Every structure is written in C-alpha cells, then in structure tokens.
C-alpha cells in the first residue's frame, strides 16, 4: 500500500472530503493544482487528467502502466513564455493528493514518472502534458560485451553466475545504469537472504537481450514474481511467496466502499506447470537438458480439464536448487489458479482506495457475491490480492482486479533453522515463525504445535 501519514489515513476515511491534486515538474517554477491552495508558486490551472492504469502480467513477470496525460490552461500565455528558458521533456513529474484543510506535507505521492511530450490543446488555449513511467529505462539492451570484451554473440559468450536476485540488481544498476534509490533493493535483498536463500543461476548468453525482457522472462517468471513501478517511481517487485509470517489485509472492502456489485468470475485454470532448465552451453533456445512437469492431482480429478503454464529459464540449474524452486513456484501457482479461483476482473471502489498497490492483500465482505463453497450468497472477510489498478481522477473512482488469496493461510514459507537458533521450545516468537525445526512423524513439534514443512 502507498505509504501515507496518519493525518492522511484519517482524512481518507472520511465520507465527505475534497481531493486536491498537485502536479510538480522537477526544477519548474510552477506547480499545477485543481484547487486554489493559496500557496506561492501553485496555480489552479489543471483542467483535466486521463485515467491512469497499471496492468499486471503476474504469470509472465511484468506489468505495463498506461501513458498518462494532464491538461493545463495556458493562463495569459504564461506557460508559452516559459518554453524558451525551460525544457519540460525528460523531467521527472510527480502527482500528489490530499484534501482541503490538510497540510501539504501530509499529501500522498500517487505517481512518479517522466514528461515525454507536450502538445497544444483546446484550440491552443491549453497544453497537454504526456507522461510515461520509469519502466521505459528497461528498454535498454544489456550485456552487450562478452567475457572477452568483444561484442556478445555466438562466438563470444557472456557468462553470469550468481544468485538470481544479485544478477537482477546488477542488471539494473550496472547494465541499465539506475541509481540504487530507483530500485526497491531492500525488498530484493530480503527475498535473497530469506525465501530464496542459497539459490544460484548460471547464464551463458550468446546475444545481448533487452533488459525488461530478460529480467521478466529469465529471472522473475521462474521465481514466481513480477516487476512494476511504485508510486515513488522505483522499480518494485512482488512475489507469489509473501514471506513468513504472511502479511495481513491492508484494507477492508465492503458494500460501503464498493460502488458496483462485484461480478464473481474465475481465474484461468492452471493445474500443470512445466519447468525447462539446464540450458546447454550452445545457448540454443531449445536445448534444455532438464524438463520437469508438476501436476495438481486434486484439480485434475475435480475438473477433468488441463491448463498448462510453461516456464523456460536459461539460468536455472537442476543441481542448484532448480528442481526445488520449480516445485515451490508450481505449488504457489496451483494454490492461486488450480481450482478456478474466484476473481473479480473489475471492482469499482470509492477514492479512499487510491492507496492500494499491486500485491496488496485486502479482505472483501459483500452480501452480493456468491460463496460457491458454502452454497450461499455473501462472503465475509475473504482475502484477495490486488493486481490491475486504475485511477479515474475525474470521477473519484478506483478500479481494481482481485484474485482469491485465501491460500495464503497455508502458504507460509520458512527457513531451515541455523545452528545458532535454539530448539523450538526455547526459540523466540520471531524465530518460531521464521524457521523450520525438527518435527515428529505426525508433523508436529514436541509441544504439539503444527510444524512448518517443505511440502
């Protein structure tokens, strides 16, 4: 969820509120608003703004955010007069929101991007600013030089051999050239040292890939993750594994803040996952020495239907935890989509939901949604994960795509206890929720507590 202050969170819960939008362009003397704030340098010249959408491809490792534009009145031709002395294109742009009567220091940043182009609008009386998100930096071709310094090709191989998330960080910082602050490195290192501890990928590249395509297909998709730009403009990451303990709901969605009647749909069925790994040294896209197929028997037996997800990774090695992580990722996919899980393609929410982000967990209570498992109308406190999100600034509506996330109650991932961790009964509460300990044949610890397991 977008980080906010306590003052913003409290005001955001109010039924009656007047949103203020503030658009700042780095180094530009004028700030545009939709409301006369009375602040020096802020001008209420905002006329309109397009919807801003992010679409997540959670099974393919990536996301796309729509280009976004806002239109500003050229009051007394002041903006026109600014052009000779200021270059707008390429500058960072931020959109913040708050409410009338709130200190602007408590406003929440919704979007950070880049001004791309500017064009005249409204018969030349206004300007339309067209903005793009920071993922455009990932269109750069990377690993252009082989191990021997020559251009990367079939005769000059570029070798990468490290933890996949270290490879990811290096690709973004060294190859793409992003500053550390432009990446959510803290999240990546937590996963590297936690859920994905000890993993290793080895790539032998015979061509230079585009950064976004390589990162999504070769690193994030095999690990059950995807990238997206967060509100601060950072390249951020979400994984199917939520860690341990599993995070709780960040917002309750009820008939009080849901505008439309949610139409209960289903996710695409995936009950068969095939991993291909151990690519041969020739770099051939078809030369995978290991192919492992995982099936979800309960789903296959229930429906008699099959839905397959194929994941090919040139860097995964069966001898370096490839089979294990394949099993883990397949299991998470089955929990999310193996039983045609409940999905809402579009749920319209009140503007208070503007702080939701991809990967957030919400709980939904609605008398208008059928509970197919119980055979009754109405669901209560059911967990869902947020994927796609659209802000309709003009109408004050937030639209999200939600997927059933009740599987999280059984999807915690624990680490194997280190030598310095005491026995289970003597371990701290944090250690008990972080690590696995030796258990008996009944899968319980010595005091009868259910054990954290690999399966």
- Convert the pLDDT of each residue in 83-135 to its tens digit: 999 999 999 999 999 999 999 999 999 999 999 999 999 999 999 999 999 99
pLDDT of 190 > 60? The answer is yes
Angle, vertex CA 367, rays to CA 51 and CA 341, nearest 5? 70
Residue 186 to residues 1, 182, 451: CA-CA distances in angstroms? 16, 11, 29
pLDDT in tens, 232-263: 999 999 999 887 667 789 999 999 999 988 89
DSSP tag of 441: T
pLDDT in tens, 21-70: 999 999 999 999 999 999 999 999 999 999 999 999 999 999 999 889 99
Query: CATH class for domain 6-134?
Result: mainly beta
Query: pLDDT tier at 411 (50, 70, 90 boundaries)?
Result: low
Angle, vertex CA 271, rays to CA 340 and CA 441, nearest 5? 105
Q: Are the CB atoms for 244 and 436 separated by under 8 Å?
A: no
The H or E element containing residue 363 is strand 361-371
Any idea where the domains of the chain sit in the sequence?
6-134, 138-239, 251-410, 414-455
SS3 26: coil
pLDDT of 455 > 50? The answer is no
pLDDT of 336 > 70? The answer is yes
pLDDT attached to residue 181: 94
Count Cβ atoms within 10 A of the Cβ of residue 105 and give its class: 0-12 exposed, 13-18 middle, 19 or more buried: exposed
Query: pLDDT tier at 203 (50, 70, 90 boundaries)?
Result: very high
Angle, vertex CA 37, rays to CA 35 and CA 42, nearest 5? 90
Report the range of poorest mean pLDDT among 157-161, 333-337, 404-408: 404-408
Query: What's the distance, Cα to Cα, between the start and end of the chain in Å?
Result: 30
What's the pTM value of the predicted model, to 2 decimals?
0.87
Query: pLDDT tier at 270 (50, 70, 90 boundaries)?
Result: very high
Q: Are the CB atoms for 338 and 271 separated by under 8 Å?
A: yes
Angstrom distance (rounded) from CA 246 to CA 220: 20
Number of Cβ atoms within 10 Å of the Cβ of 224: 25
pLDDT of 330 > 90? The answer is yes
């Amino acid at each position: 969820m977008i980080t906010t202050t306590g003052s913003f969170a409290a005001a955001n819960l109010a039924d009656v509120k007047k949103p203020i939008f503030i658009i700042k362009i780095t180094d530009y003397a004028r700030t545009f608003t939709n409301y006369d704030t009375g602040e020096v340098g802020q001008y209420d010249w905002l006329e309109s703004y397009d919807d801003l959408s992010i679409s997540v491809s959670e099974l393919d490792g990536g996301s796309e955010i729509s280009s976004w534009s806002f239109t500003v009145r050229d009051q007394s031709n002041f903006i026109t007069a600014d052009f000779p002395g200021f270059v707008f294109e390429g500058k960072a742009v931020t959109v913040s929101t708050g409410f009338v009567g709130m200190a602007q220091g408590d406003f929440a940043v919704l979007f950070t991007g880049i001004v791309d182009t500017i064009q005249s609008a409204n018969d030349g009386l206004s300007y339309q600013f067209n903005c793009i998100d920071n993922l455009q930096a990932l269109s750069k071709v990377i690993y252009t030089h082989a191990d021997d310094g020559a251009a990367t090709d079939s005769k000059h191989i570029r070798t990468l051999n490290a933890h996949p998330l270290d490879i990811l960080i290096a690709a973004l910082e060294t190859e793409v050239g992003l500053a550390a602050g432009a990446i959510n490195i803290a999240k990546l290192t937590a996963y590297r040292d936690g859920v994905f501890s000890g993993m290793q990928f080895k790539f032998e590249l015979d061509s230079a890939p585009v950064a976004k395509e390589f990162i999504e297909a070769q690193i994030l998709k095999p690990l059950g993750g995807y990238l997206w730009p967060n509100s601060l403009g950072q390249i951020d990451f979400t994984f199917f594994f939520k860690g341990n303990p599993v995070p709780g709901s960040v917002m309750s969605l009820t008939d009080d803040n849901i505008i439309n009647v949610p139409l209960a749909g289903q996710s695409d069925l995936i009950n068969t996952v095939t991993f291909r790994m151990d690519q041969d040294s020739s770099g051939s896209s078809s030369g995978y020495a290991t192919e492992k197929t995982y099936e979800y028997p309960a789903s296959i037996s229930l429906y008699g239907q099959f839905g397959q997800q194929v994941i090919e990774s040139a860097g995964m090695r069966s001898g370096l935890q490839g089979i294990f992580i394949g099993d883990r990722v397949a299991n998470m996919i089955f929990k999310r989509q193996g039983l045609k899980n409940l999905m809402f393609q579009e749920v319209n929410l009140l503007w208070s939901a503007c702080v939701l982000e991809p990967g957030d967990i919400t709980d939904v209570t609605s008398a208008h949604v059928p509970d197919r498992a119980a055979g009754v109308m109405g669901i209560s406190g059911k967990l869902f994960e947020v994927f796609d999100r659209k802000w309709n600034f003009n109408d004050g509506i937030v639209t999200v795509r939600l997927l059933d996330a009740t599987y999280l109650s059984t999807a915690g991932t624990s680490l194997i206890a280190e030598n310095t961790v005491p026995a289970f009964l003597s371990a701290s509460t944090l250690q008990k929720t972080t690590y696995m300990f030796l258990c008996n044949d009944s899968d319980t610890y010595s005091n009868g507590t259910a054990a954290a397991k690999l399966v």
